[in-house]
Structure 1
């Protein structure tokens, strides 16, 4: 009897310790995510300040697309982090509100690679057709491209809503759930449509980036100069490819998590941090801080701040 009591006590203690360790890991990961997001917001604020206070930058298609990507990534990170924390702490939300939030998150997730493809095409036109660049890449056209990007990103969610509405009763939307994509998955066709959309999206964007990179590097070989603008454009497109690769890695997590979640604690949080948030956290550094124009104005901004201080 004493041995049974001691064994039960040891099991209880181990269970409590494991629960405390899990809570500590969960809290540490959330703090790390919030810290990274704050650093991202700092660089985002500087870049937006330079963008909106400099007229000729606002009229440059490349920077219009870049700032749009940053704003879209910010929207994705804010809503994604909110849904992640709500799911971790089992906060229940109405299905209707959850569906709206998940829809915005999924659209903004797809908009990032679409935006990368358009940015790669802009660099391709600038290097391969320099005489037509000002004609083809105008501010109005860039705004039209952004509208097309969001429209294309919205179409799969419209189809998903139709599939969901035809599979459930209207009372389903008045229920409260822990908000996640899985909670809204009520018809097999939804998962099929989502997988096909992501595969086609990343394949098409990947082909566009590879094609533009090859064409730009052919121009670099003709010019025979490693310091040319074409060489710089080639490196920029390669960065687009790197960021797309990270986004594609996030996509594969949807297949691995169901099989590995029993072996690795907080696998979904780790995947979200490394493969979903990391590419977006790096955007201000990759495209903003390394850009000569932005770097020049950022130095001026800091100098004026120091002088006024």
Structure 2
């Protein structure tokens, strides 16, 4: 997880300069989270209300993306307020918070990759899609994605155990990643995992988009469906770009921190939280089934079951 520690000294400087600005950003952060959680609740209600959606791979992956981003944002807020207000937790709890948050950060782009592959199979291999993309295989894929996301943290934990004394895990600490960096190998591992992971996801999205658009150009019958699938994959690319914005956090803070004392908090909101606030909402509002059902819920109309939709 990206380091966004806000020291006690920096926090005091914030209050000395502008209590109003600090409270405004905190309020904006909490309001954004409340709006996101509201949409999350509505979309998960739609997912669990329409039984058909629970059998469609792309909707299962989308529901998983929603849950994963909610976990990441929630734990990110816990870590942020732990750092900002100097709230200390037992070391094992803090490490668990950082580990799950870090894994969720990696799982988001991996989930986008498998969503793009699912659309690729649906368009390029329509006759085999139903056999390859079953509900059981989709669940197993999600489990595999989490295992891949957790493996680097397992290695990180082993390195940490060999780098600290036996009583290290008996103290209280802030729930931020910088506390657990005790060896250069940990930073190297994190850099390699993120570089390879995001590069591979980017290649998968580009590959699937090109293949789908070639089908859209080649086949007249199904051209509309393939074109929609191509737009969906492009949306995944946009979501990946939003995820990658997190990596600009440290770079911007290094060069601009001396000019703006509120930069750590602003960076946390715009580069860590905001991309995950808007990314699932764009996908959910774009989908015909989700949009129609969400509109009925928000208008307090009686829910009804929609027929099977093949919208992308």
What are the residue-to-residue correspondences of 1:1-309 with 2, within 5 Å? 19-223=15-219, 228-302=224-298, 305-306=300-301
Equivalent residue of 1:170, what SS?
coil
CA distance in 2, matches of 1:132, 1:89: 54
Question: Is the alpha carbon distance of 1:86 and 1:229 closer, same or farther for their aligned partners in structure 2, counting shifts above 3 Å?
Answer: same
Contact 1:43 1:284 survives alignment (8 Å): no
Partner of 2:5: none
Deviation at 1:268?
2.7
Which consecutive unaligned segments of at least 5 residues does structure 2 have?
1-11, 304-312
Contact 1:47 1:294 survives alignment (8 Å): yes
CA distance in 2, matches of 1:17, 1:279: 28
Deviation at 1:98?
1.1
Question: Is the alpha carbon distance of 1:94 and 1:23 closer, same or farther for their aligned partners in structure 2, counting shifts above 3 Å?
Answer: farther
Question: Is the alpha carbon distance of 1:136 and 1:273 closer, same or farther for their aligned partners in structure 2, counting shifts above 3 Å?
Answer: same
CA distance in 2, matches of 1:148, 1:280: 22
CA distance in 2, matches of 1:41, 1:17: 32
Question: Is the alpha carbon distance of 1:23 and 1:182 closer, same or farther for their aligned partners in structure 2, counting shifts above 3 Å?
Answer: farther
Deviation per residue, 1:87-127 (Å, 9 max, x gap): 11121222222111100100000000000000000111111
CA distance in 1, matches of 2:175, 2:65: 25
Deviation at 1:17?
9.2
Give the aligned CA root-mean-square deviation in angstroms: 2.1
Q: If the length of structure 2 is used for normalisation, what is the TM-score?
A: 0.88
Partner of 2:307: none
Deviation at 1:288?
1.0
Contact 1:80 1:105 survives alignment (8 Å): yes
Partner of 2:6: none
Aligned length, in residue pairs: 292
CA distance in 2, matches of 1:158, 1:188: 16
Deviation per residue, 1:223-259 (Å, 9 max, x gap): 3589701111111111111111121121232344344
Deviation at 1:302?
4.3
CA distance in 2, matches of 1:240, 1:212: 11
Deviation per residue, 1:55-77 (Å, 9 max, x gap): 11110000000000100111111
Partner of 2:8: none
Equivalent residue of 2:261, what SS?
coil
Contact 1:73 1:112 survives alignment (8 Å): yes
CA distance in 1, matches of 2:259, 2:91: 30
Equivalent residue of 2:167, what SS?
helix
CA distance in 1, matches of 2:263, 2:13: 20
161-170 or 287-296, which moves further after superposition? 287-296
Equivalent residue of 2:89, what SS?
strand
